[in-house]
Structure 1
Amino acid sequence: MRLSLPLTLGLLLLAAVAPAAAQEGTALSPRVLDEAALPGVMAKAVDRFIVPGYRNLSRTTADLAESSAALCETPSAATLEETRSTFSEVVRTWSTIEIVRLGPALEQNRFERFLFYPDRKSTGLKQVQVILSKRDERATQAESLKAKSVAVQGLGALEYVLYGTGAETLASKDGGFRCRYAMAISQNLAATAGELLAAWEKPDGIQSAWKAPGPGNPLFRDNKEAATELLGVLVHSVEMIKDQRLRPFYDGAIDGKPDKGRPKLAIYWRSGNTMASIAANLRGLQTLFNIAGMENLLPADSRSIAGSVNFLFKALISAADRVEGPIDAALADDKRRSRLDFITLNTADLLDRLNRDFGGAIGLGAGFSFADGD
């Protein structure tokens, strides 16, 4: 009976947004991209979402570097708690902007240096544990750490240092080495955030390519290619949430039998930031969708699709916010598990709304497949 609540909610939600898609599906007018609206939408995506997002990331990572330095200088329960709190803020800030997984984020392995995930074979964990057990001093300097594996220099590594086995030593002088390693990771995160911000702020760099699609553009030869990239950010990110962030630790019911869940496969499970991160991913996507004015790409008779998309975003964010606390505790609670069922069901629907309904309505073609690169 546990599934009755999420399934009922899901069916109600699907019923609420289905009429809009059905209405657009029956439209006979040809679906073509609004060429005049696209450059303005791309410019707002850059100026109002991407650049501010990286500015926030640069600010919070600088705060993290400062708080970790204070922890090393004056180790105590209070300074450890402050560093952990700042870490959680960086997780939320990163989760908001990590959806822009393209351009500068893919260069020089910046994305993996910031977050090595999924770590399917516990490669990163094992390497971090070796550094801690051997007290490898090369990991305590930002420059030499940067030359090491990407698996030992990002948020996953830092989470283990701050929350994993032996982390309690950080509150005393016994945790000196561990703290210096944490500080080096924090400094590397701040440096990487600064690189990402600088790349997007450069007037003649990637932001110029986003704002002016055309024959001489190195990224987008026309507006359709630019629209594909922008909508692809949303589609690929919702796929990521569904397949990489939810499915590894929870599948819902299988053949009518409840899935007990696998909490230790969830991202940020040690720090209790699993659902806060997923909620931030969804907030980032909704913010990008609205602040860029993507609704303006839709024909006048298809604007209700944007309402359907926003309805789903709002419902999913609300549900994610209410799966509070450590993920293992959430999986042991029927009410919070029902919310996870709801999120799982409706994330799949959101993906369909964006890929099929929105993509088709703006002229990318019904059934447009980003995965195939069409």
Structure 2
Amino acid sequence: MRIVLSLLVLPFLAVPAMAQSDSDIVRAAIDDVFRPAFADFNAATGALESDMEFLCEAPSVQRATAARAQFRETVLSWSRAELYRLGPLLEDNRSERILFWPDRKGVALRQVQAALAEQDETATSVESLTQKSVALQGLGALEFVLFGTGSEALDDGADYRCRFGLAIAGALHQVAGELDAAWQAPDGIAKRLLQPTEGDPEYRNQREVMEDVTGLLAHGSEIIRDQRLLPFLGREGERSRPRSALFWRSNMSVPSALANFEGLDDLFTRSGIGAVDEENEWVSNGITFELENAVRAGALVTDPVAEALDDPEQKQALDYLVIVTQSLDTLLGENLAAARGLSVGFSSLDGD
């Protein structure tokens, strides 16, 4: 199955020519990046819940196909937003409830298979499901319901499996609604970022805010490499493992990683953080160049992961994406931060 992302055909935005103040950058990031991204994710999960409800009401191949298609759209929407790891996304285990990953021990798969085998009715309502393990509540669990072993039964009726999937979709929409509301709230995270105070444990001044926003870019490239690409490509000397890829069942492994790059590009360009003084213009140009390289390389990967890894051209393109993230690590985490007089610390995720 071949999947083409919109980001592969849309040109990257030009970096603003005039440098903006830190407060202007933060405001633009909030209004033009964070709020739209989480609003889009909220809308996508709402459509997913509706499609799952329609499927459960009257199972058919057409309705199952629609639900699977909306799942893929939801994955893309999440992937564009998930690297904005600050504020509401880091509270109440929201990130893990949406996507329990990395899952090195296969916890989610075991729990989802157990729920399906036992037909655990407490996993078929949003209220009771959200009291269970986060591994049962998110996109990984729903992917198995829609695409995993036995999922073909959804096409002509699989009552428990569908109700379980509907509950997961409802839980996702609930969390997405919380995120959207938190970013839209006038007295919430937006105010904290725009009006830092000495009493705030995280954002005492504008510099700390800017370091967090810049850190999203630097740590984002690390996450793409260490948690999205290397698990299935293998580190140096390791063999490829296509079934270690996130979203391999739905053929969304590479599209979701490319949507991650799109999320980084949106933050870099729309916020104006890349507009630096003339002396450091090479930094912004380099970042734009590497983000464009990611798009070009990603366009060459048209097959599911297993087939792509067996094709020399596609495998080379995937390996090149890793090289792009390494270059972005330096450009974003060191050069851009230095150009703005900031210090970006280590990621809270080890990525091992």
Which TM-score applies when normalising by structure 2? 0.90
Give me the whole-angstrom Cα distance separating, in 2, the residues matched to 1:207 and 1:172: 46
C-alpha contact (below 8 Å) 1:252/1:340 kept by paired residues: no
SS in 1 for 2:114: helix
- The corresponding residue for 1:248 is 231
Give me the whole-angstrom Cα distance separating, in 1, the residues matched to 2:185 and 2:101: 29
- The corresponding residue for 2:136 is 152
- The corresponding residue for 1:370 is 346
State yes or no: 1:57 paired with 2:31. no
Q: Which moved more, 1:184-193 or 1:205-214?
A: 205-214
State yes or no: 1:98 paired with 2:82. yes
Give CA-to-partner distance per residue, 1:79-105, whole Å, 9 cap, x none: 111000000000000000001122111
Give CA-to-partner distance per residue, 1:116-151, whole Å, 9 cap, x none: 001110011000000000000111111100111000
- The corresponding residue for 1:288 is 267
Amino acid at match of 2:104: R
Give CA-to-partner distance per residue, 1:170-220, whole Å, 9 cap, x none: 0112x1100000000001111110000111111011101111234355532
State yes or no: 1:346 paired with 2:324. yes
State yes or no: 1:204 paired with 2:187. yes
SS in 2 for 1:295: coil
C-alpha contact (below 8 Å) 2:79/2:256 kept by paired residues: yes
User: In terms of Rg, which structure is larger?
Assistant: 1
- The corresponding residue for 1:125 is 109
SS in 2 for 1:215: coil
- The corresponding residue for 2:4 is none
C-alpha contact (below 8 Å) 2:45/2:176 kept by paired residues: yes
C-alpha contact (below 8 Å) 1:250/1:261 kept by paired residues: yes
Give me the whole-angstrom Cα distance separating, in 1, the residues matched to 2:342 and 2:297: 31
Give me the whole-angstrom Cα distance separating, in 1, the residues matched to 2:199 and 2:235: 49
Superposition deviation, residue 323 in structure 1? 1.1
Q: Provide structure 1 residue ranges, at least 5 long, that are not aligned to the other structure.
A: 1-33
Amino acid at match of 1:72: C
Give me the whole-angstrom Cα distance separating, in 2, the residues matched to 1:371 and 1:158: 28
User: Within 5 A, what are the aligned runs for 1:68-83?
Assistant: 68-83=52-67
- The corresponding residue for 1:28 is none
State yes or no: 1:222 paired with 2:205. yes
In structure 2, the CA distance between the partners of 1:323 and 1:372, relative to structure 1 (3 Å rule), is closer
- The corresponding residue for 2:244 is 265
Give CA-to-partner distance per residue, 1:203-242, whole Å, 9 cap, x none: 0111011112343555322222111100111111111111
Aligned length: 331
State yes or no: 1:184 paired with 2:167. yes
- The corresponding residue for 1:195 is 178
Give CA-to-partner distance per residue, 1:327-366, whole Å, 9 cap, x none: 111111111001012111121111111111111111125x
SS in 2 for 1:337: helix
Which TM-score applies when normalising by structure 1? 0.85
In structure 2, the CA distance between the partners of 1:372 and 1:178, relative to structure 1 (3 Å rule), is closer
- The corresponding residue for 1:4 is none
In structure 2, the CA distance between the partners of 1:283 and 1:127, relative to structure 1 (3 Å rule), is same
Q: Provide structure 2 residue ranges, at least 5 long, that are not aligned to the other structure.
A: 1-18
Equivalent of residue 215 in structure 2, options 232, 241, 248: 232
- The corresponding residue for 1:41 is 25
Amino acid at match of 1:149: S
- The corresponding residue for 2:310 is 332
Amino acid at match of 1:121: K
Give me the whole-angstrom Cα distance separating, in 2, the residues matched to 1:234 and 1:45: 12
SS in 2 for 1:249: helix
Give me the whole-angstrom Cα distance separating, in 1, the residues matched to 2:345 and 2:143: 35
- The corresponding residue for 2:6 is none
Superposition deviation, residue 73 in structure 1? 1.0
SS in 2 for 1:101: coil
Superposition deviation, residue 252 in structure 1? 6.6
Sequence identity, in percent?
38
Give me the whole-angstrom Cα distance separating, in 1, the residues matched to 2:28 and 2:296: 26
Superposition deviation, residue 370 in structure 1? 3.0
C-alpha contact (below 8 Å) 1:299/1:362 kept by paired residues: no
C-alpha contact (below 8 Å) 2:215/2:345 kept by paired residues: no
Give me the whole-angstrom Cα distance separating, in 2, the residues matched to 1:161 and 1:278: 22
Superposition deviation, residue 322 in structure 1? 2.4
C-alpha contact (below 8 Å) 2:55/2:64 kept by paired residues: yes
Superposition deviation, residue 372 in structure 1? 8.5
SS in 2 for 1:57: helix
- The corresponding residue for 1:361 is 339
C-alpha contact (below 8 Å) 1:278/1:320 kept by paired residues: no
SS in 2 for 1:108: coil
The CA RMSD measured in Å over matched residues stands at 1.7
- The corresponding residue for 1:317 is 295
C-alpha contact (below 8 Å) 1:312/1:346 kept by paired residues: yes
